[in-house]
Amino acid sequence: MPSKNEFDVIIIGGGITGAGTARDCAMRGLRVLLIERHDIATGATGRNHGLLHSGARYAVKDSESAEECIRENKILRSIASNCIEDTGGLFITLPEDEEAGFGLDYQQKFIDACQRAGIEARAISPSDAREMEPSVNPSLIGAVVVPDGSVDPFRLCAANVTDAAMHGAKVLVYTEFIDFIREGDTIQGVQVLDTRTGVKAEYRAPVTVNAAGIWGHGVAEKAGVHIGMYPAKGALLVFGHRVNNVVINRCRKSADGDILVPGDSVTVIGTTSTKVPFEECDHMEVTPDEVRLLLREGCALCPSLASTRILRAYAGVRPLVADDSDPTGRSISRGIVCLDHETRDGVKGFISITGGKLMTYRLMAELATDAVCRKLGVNQACSTAETPLPGSVDGRIETVSKRFEGKVTLGQKGAAGRQGDLVGKLRFDSDADKQLVCECENVTLAEIKYAVAELGVRSLGDLRRRTRVGMGTCQGTLCIRKAAKALAQALGDPSLEAKLAADYLDERWKGMRAVGWGDTLREMEFMQRVYKFEKPYSYDEI
Amino acid sequence: MKFDVVIIGGGLAGTSAATELQKSGLKCILVADGLSLYNCPKNEFKAAGGTVLQGDRVVSGDFEDGRLLRVYTAKLGNEPLEAGQFVLATGKYFSRGLVADMDKVYEPLFNLDVEYDADRPSWFDPSFAAPQRFLEFGVKTSGALALKGGVPIENLYPAGEVLAGVSSAQGDATEQILNSARQAVRAIRKTDYAGE
> Which pLDDT score, from 0 to 100, does residue A32 have?
98
Residues in chain A with CB shorter than 8 Å from the CB of B92 are 525
In chain B, DSSP finds a helix count (H) and a strand count (E) of: 3, 14
> Which pLDDT score, from 0 to 100, does residue A542 have?
38
Residues in chain B with CB shorter than 8 Å from the CB of A529 are 94, 168-169
Q: CB–CB of A521 and B127 under 8 A?
A: no
Residues in chain A with CB shorter than 8 Å from the CB of B130 are none
Name the DSSP class of B133: G
Residues in chain B with CB shorter than 8 Å from the CB of A521 are 93, 100, 134
3-state secondary structure A261-329: EEECCEEEEECCCEECCHHHHHCCCCCHHHHHHHHHHHHHHCHHHHHCCEEEEEEEEEEEECCCCCCCC
Burial label, B66 (beta-carbon count in 10 A; 0-12, 13-18, 19+) = middle
Burial label, A84 (beta-carbon count in 10 A; 0-12, 13-18, 19+) = buried
Q: For B116-135, write each residue's pLDDT tens digit.
A: 999 999 999 999 999 999 99
B123: closest CA of chain A, how far (Å): 9
> Which pLDDT score, from 0 to 100, does residue A397 have?
60
3-state secondary structure B4-52: EEEEECCCHHHHHHHHHHHHCCCCEEEEECCCCCCHHHHHHHHHCCCEE
Would you put residue A287 in left (φ > 0), alpha (ψ -120 to 50) or beta?
A: beta
Mutate to test the interface with B, among A521, A531, A533, A534 (most CBs of B within 10 A): A521
Burial label, A131 (beta-carbon count in 10 A; 0-12, 13-18, 19+) = exposed
3-state helix, strand, coil in chain A (%, to 5): 40, 20, 35
Classify A460 as helix, strand or coil.
helix
Residues in chain A with CB shorter than 8 Å from the CB of B126 are 506, 509-510, 513
Q: Is B100 part of the contact surface with chain A (CB cutoff 8 Å)? A: yes
> Which pLDDT score, from 0 to 100, does residue B171 have?
86
Q: CB–CB of B134 and A516 under 8 A?
A: yes
Binned at pLDDT 50, 70 and 90, residue B195 comes out as very low
Nearest-CA residue of chain B relative to A513? B124
Q: Which positions of chain A have pLDDT values less than 50?
A: 324, 534-542
Q: Give the ipTM of the model, two decimals please.
A: 0.95
Distance CA A466, CA A451 (A): 7
Residues of chain A that touch chain B, judged by Cβ-Cβ distance less than 8 Å: 288, 291-292, 502, 505-506, 508-510, 513, 516-518, 521-522, 524-529, 531-537
Nearest-CA residue of chain A relative to B118? A517
Q: CB–CB of A525 and B123 under 8 A?
A: no
What's the mean pLDDT in B184-193? 87
Residue whose C-alpha is closest to residue B152's, from B162, B137, B142, B167: B142
Residues in chain A with CB shorter than 8 Å from the CB of B120 are 288, 516-517
Residues in chain A with CB shorter than 8 Å from the CB of B176 are none
Q: CB–CB of A517 and B120 under 8 A?
A: yes
> Which pLDDT score, from 0 to 100, does residue A395 have?
56
Name the DSSP class of A118: T
From residue B168, alpha-carbon distances to A487, A502, A513, B108, B185 in Å are 29, 20, 20, 21, 21
Residue whose C-alpha is closest to residue A82's, from A541, A420, A540: A420
Pairing of strands A266-270, A229-239: antiparallel
Strand partners, A182: A187
Among the partner-chain residues B94, B123, B171, the one whose CB lies closest to the CB of A516 is B123
Burial label, A517 (beta-carbon count in 10 A; 0-12, 13-18, 19+) = buried
Distance CA A169, CA B47 (A): 74
Distance CA A97, CA A126 (A): 15
Residues 6+ apart with CB under 8 A from B128: A502, A505, A506, A508, A509, A527, A528, A531, A533
Classify A465 as helix, strand or coil.
helix
Q: CB–CB of B128 and A522 under 8 A?
A: no
